[in-house]
Amino acid sequence: MQPTDAEIMEQVQSGQLALFDELVARYRGALLRVAVSKLGDEAWAEDVVQETFLAVYAARHSYKPEFAFRTWLWTILLNNCKKQWKRSQRKPRVVSESALPTEVARSISEPTVSDSGLQGILLTERRELVHELLNRLSEVQADALRLRFFGGLQFDEISDSMGCSLSGAKRRVKTGLEALSRMLDERKGDLP
Amino acid sequence: MNCDQAFECLTDPFHAGQPELEQHLAGCPRCRQMQETLEPALGLFAEEHHSWETEADECFSQDAGPAEFLSPSIIRLADHAALQLQRQTKPVRTQRKILTKAACCVALVLFGAAISYGVLAVQDEPQKPSVPGQIIAEDVPCLWLSPEKVVVTEQTRSRDVVLSCLVCHVGTSSSN
């Protein structure tokens, strides 16, 4: 039976630092998907995820087992993304999406699947589309959808991470999906 | 399964297409309608999820395992960053304390200055006598002490002389 996140954190707190790798292995992929979707740049998202883990590691002694590790981790990631995004608004890191969509298209997570060619292009196009459509939603709706579908969070975890009620989290996901579906219906022909 | 659980199941990328959900949808037109409305977005996320799973499978088949995150250099870096953060936070707290104390001192000095200014202003003002007799004592001569000032008219009465004397002496004795 695998140790829980809280058990691992307790052991990390007591000095078994190598166990932290297990937490990284558990969450890195999901965190990266959300960060890429939010920031639109894989290298940037990698940095933010790295920063998130480092922040968790640096603050390991302040972790309390009675609180959910996942919620803590996701909250730090969302805050880091926001912070980085604001910083980039003041001091742009990449060319803005509206100005040069093709540039961002390259920076959005290129599929690593080995079957290159047409399928790779279709995957990239779909990721750009998802990124673009999510950016057209309100931030809270888009974040709720990212956490639900890219992070695989339960609704109670979304509500804790975003600081809203359980029904609020469900409403954000539902209204976000409705808006997204409307947008997709409007541009059916563009879908890869 | 109720409608709330059906929505959770419908939007769960890891457990979509459960038989319980299908059963619920078959008997609940409201949830069926919702599924139809949300289908374009749900389909898009399902495709994305599928592609991630494929990527993850390929990555794990290529790598021996997940890369080590906490390498010694990373640990040193994280500890260093944590230490720096603590150092940065402490001076900020100290600075805040100093600023608060300075603000308190300035406020006290200003308060003291305001009070002393007020006292001086009051002292500069012409003093108003607290005893009404003093004014009368200055303005009205004591007719008992200076009888030459008594102008005997028809209106002069002994009562006026007594009153002027009383006012004069009461004012003098109260000021003494």
pLDDT tens for A142-166 read 999 999 988 888 899 899 888 889 9
Residues 74-133 of B with CB under 8 A from A: 74-75, 77-79, 81-82, 85
- How many Å apart are CA A96 and CA B162, to the nearest integer? 101
CA separation for the pair A16, A43 (Å, rounded): 29
Burial A163-173 (b: 16+ CB within 10 A, else e): ebeeebbbebb
pLDDT for residue A172 is more than 90 = yes
pLDDT in tens, B95-145: 677 788 888 888 888 888 888 888 777 776 655 555 544 545 555 666 667
Q: What is the CATH number of domain A1-93?
A: 1.10.1740.10
Which has the higher per-residue pLDDT, B46 or B140? B46
Q: What is the pTM of this model?
A: 0.61
Q: For residue range A57-105, list pLDDT tens digits in order.
A: 888 888 888 788 888 889 999 998 888 888 877 766 554 444 434 444 4
The rounded distance, in Å, linking the Cα atoms of B35 and B11 is: 10
Does the predicted interface ipTM exceed a cut of 0.85? no
In chain A, domain spans: 1-93, 109-192
pLDDT band at residue A179 under the 50/70/90 scheme: very high
Torsion, CA A147, CA B28, CA B47, CA A168, rounded to 10? -10
Question: Are the folds of A1-93 and A109-192 the same?
Answer: no
Tell me how far CA of residue A152 lies from CA of A25, A59, A74, B9, B15, in angstroms.
15, 24, 11, 12, 10
Contacts with B41 from chain A: Cβ below 8 Å: 176-178, 180-181, 184
Phi and psi at B125, nearest 5°, equal -65, 145
CATH code given to domain A109-192 = 1.10.10.10
- Contact between A86 and A39 under an 8 Å Cβ cutoff? The reply is no
**A168 CB within 8 Å of a chain B CB:** no
